[in-house]
Amino acid sequence: MDREHASAAPAADERRRLPRTDVLLADPRLDAAAARLGRRLVKDVVAGVQAQARNGEVPVAEIADRAVAALPATASALRPVINATGVLLHTNLGRAALSEAARDAVLAASGTTDVELDLGTGVRARRGRSALDALLRAVPAAEAAHVVNNGAAALVLAATALARGREIIVSRGEMVEIGDGFRLPDLLVSTGARLREVGTTNRTTPADYAAAVGPDTGCILKVHPSNFRVTGFTREASVAELAQLGVPVVADIGSGLLTPEPALPDEPDATSRLRAGASLVTASGDKLLGGPQCGLLLGNADLVRTLARHPLARALRVDKLTLAALEATVRGPLPPTVSALRADPRALRERAERLAGTLFADGIDCRAVDTEAVVGGGGAPGVTLPSAAVSLPAAYAARLRGTEPAVMARVEDGRCLLDLRAVPEAADAELAEAVRRVAPGTGS
């Protein structure tokens, strides 16, 4: 036998010893995983490890063990991430993290539930009535409430029901882009409404709106420019001033505060806008409210009823899981977003020093530093929140994204910062362990 065939023989023999897929799937561990995750998903994982074995990357004897180790925790490709960016509402990370109470509510509602049934009478009942009641208890200034699938949907429903074929009066200074290339004017025009722009970018007065009101006016839209600030020579009309003009005023507050928040005194809230005379307030549920993605509509009972019965409302309807999470957020304990917003900077610094001290004792190059966090998610533009972080070499940022759970940090001035503002204290040990796993010399 020549040298070429002699060297190829062991590899060929190794490939012939590869166990068949059905034999591997009969492994009790993989069989149990198939029942939990689905046979197709487990089979795909097994096939991937088999391919690695054919390439000589995995010993044949270890295929089953490697396949078990490669199985995901759930059947979803979404991975949990510790948000150490210092952005409380990070859009790329799903914005608000749900409270434990909201998570429990979602789990309870994941089976069959009385979302649209009165168990006492056995007949159909108002959908999501307990979640709507919770909203009205939280915002007594609202006569009625309705929930759709996101904040933009709330605005689209209001514009369609009130102004299709008519005019929406809006300030030129409030014609915002809401993210991902979507612009408010395009969104509103798509409903069949006509925009009547008034004022200028930096100054719009009540008289500008009054001059535009006419028989074709469907509503006045007052938009909170939640992702930018205009300073200097400025003027804007208040909701109270606009409420005197005799047409419905729709106030889009964006970030979802139901009541004033002491930590963000300049951020608008639903209660204050309604008390000032707004006919309807629209907002997002997954921002400063700290709940699931949804759109809130609060205000005049007749107006809300009209919106809720509009044909478009059916297409924008939320599911039982969203309703359950929303109710638990409004009724339950402070959600993580609010806790992070109100966190004591001194306590954050103490946490950072403890973490840094523990990791430094393990030989890791790190230190505690003071930082600044932001709200994010289109809320509180220009507002910074004093925070603290564990500072590591910049290379850690990429390594930490590959851990389980993944850790998302930020790189600033050549250092990887693990900002603790949005990290629950209960996750500190998990965060430290993630750093240890990817530290140089650990085999990562």
How many independent structural domains does the chain possess?
A: 3
Instruction: Identify the helix (H) or strand (E) that includes residue 311.
Output: helix 311-315
Q: Are 189 and 164 in contact (CB under 8 A)?
A: no
- Rounded CA-CA distance 262/388 in Å is 21
Q: What is the mean pLDDT of the chain?
A: 91
Out of 297, 314, 333, pick the residue that ends a domain: 333
How does DSSP classify residue 235?
B
Q: Answer yes or no: do 282 and 395 share one domain.
A: no
- Looking at the structure, do residues 137 and 268 belong to the same domain, yes or no? yes
Torsion of CA 179, 181, 182, 184, to 10 degrees: 80
Q: What is the CATH number of the domain that holds 420?
A: 3.90.1150.180
CB 170 within 8 A of CB 252: no
Q: Are residues 147 and 29 in the same domain?
A: no
Checking if the pLDDT of 97 tops 80, the result is yes
Looking at the chain, the whole-number percentage of residues with pLDDT higher than 70 is: 93
Residues 305 and 344 in one domain: no
Higher pLDDT, 111 or 187: 111
> Phi-psi bin for 380: left (phi > 0), alpha (psi -120 to 50), beta?
left
Pair (262, 399) in one structural domain: no
Q: Per the domain annotation, does 143 fall within a domain?
A: yes
For residue 443, the model assigns a pLDDT of 54
Banded pLDDT at 243 (limits 50, 70, 90)? very high
The enclosing H or E element of 435 equals: helix 428-438
pLDDT value at position 7? 44
Helix (H, G, I), strand (E, B), or coil: what is residue 39?
Answer: helix
Give per-residue burial for 65-101: e unless 16+ CB within 10 Å, then b.
Answer: ebbbeebeeeeeeeeebbbbbbbbbbeebebbbbbeb
Instruction: State the alpha helices, DSSP H only, in 62-205.
Output: 63-70, 100-109, 129-138, 151-163, 184-189
Is a pLDDT exceeding 90 seen at residue 16? no
Longest dimension (CA), the chain: 99
Please report whether residue 443 resides in a domain: no
What is the reported pLDDT for 444? 53
The DSSP 8-state label assigned to residue 99 in this structure reads P
Residue 166 in any domain: the answer is yes
What element of type H or E holds 218?
strand 217-223
Question: Quick check: 301 pLDDT over 90?
Answer: yes
Last residue of a domain, one of 333, 365, 392: 333
Alpha-carbon distance of 234 to 323, in angstroms, equals: 40
Domain end point (choices 333, 363, 388): 333
Give the model's confidence band at 191: pLDDT under 50 very low, under 70 low, under 90 confident, else very high: very high
Gap between the Cα atoms of 257 and 341, Å rounded: 12
DSSP 8-state symbol, 52: H
- Say if residue 371 is in the same domain as residue 324: no
Could you tell me if residue 140 is inside a domain?
yes
Per-residue pLDDT reduced to its tens digit, 102-159: 999 999 999 999 999 999 999 999 999 999 999 999 999 999 999 999 999 999 999 9
Is 123 among the domain residues? yes
What does the pLDDT look like over 32-80, one tens digit per residue? 999 999 999 999 999 999 999 988 888 998 999 999 998 988 888 889 9
Q: CB burial class (10 A; 0-12, 13-18, 19+) of residue 343?
A: buried
Can you give the pLDDT at residue 164?
95
* Co-location of 26 and 139 in the same domain: no
* 3-state percent breakdown (helix, strand, coil) of the chain, nearest 5: 40, 20, 40
pLDDT of 10 over the 80 cut:
no
**56 and 125 belong to one structural domain:** no
Within-domain flag for 355: yes
Question: Rounded distance, CA 144 to CA 320, Å?
Answer: 19
Q: Give the per-residue pLDDT at 379.
A: 78
| Structural domain span for residue 383 | 81-92+338-438
Q: What is the pLDDT of residue 225?
A: 76
Angle at 269 between CA 345 and CA 302, to 5 degrees: 160
pLDDT at 260: 95
DSSP-derived 3-state class of residue 148: strand
Tens digits of residue pLDDT in 373-423 = 999 887 787 889 999 999 999 999 999 999 989 999 999 999 999 999 999
Domain shared by 228 and 348, yes or no:
no
This prediction's pTM? 0.89
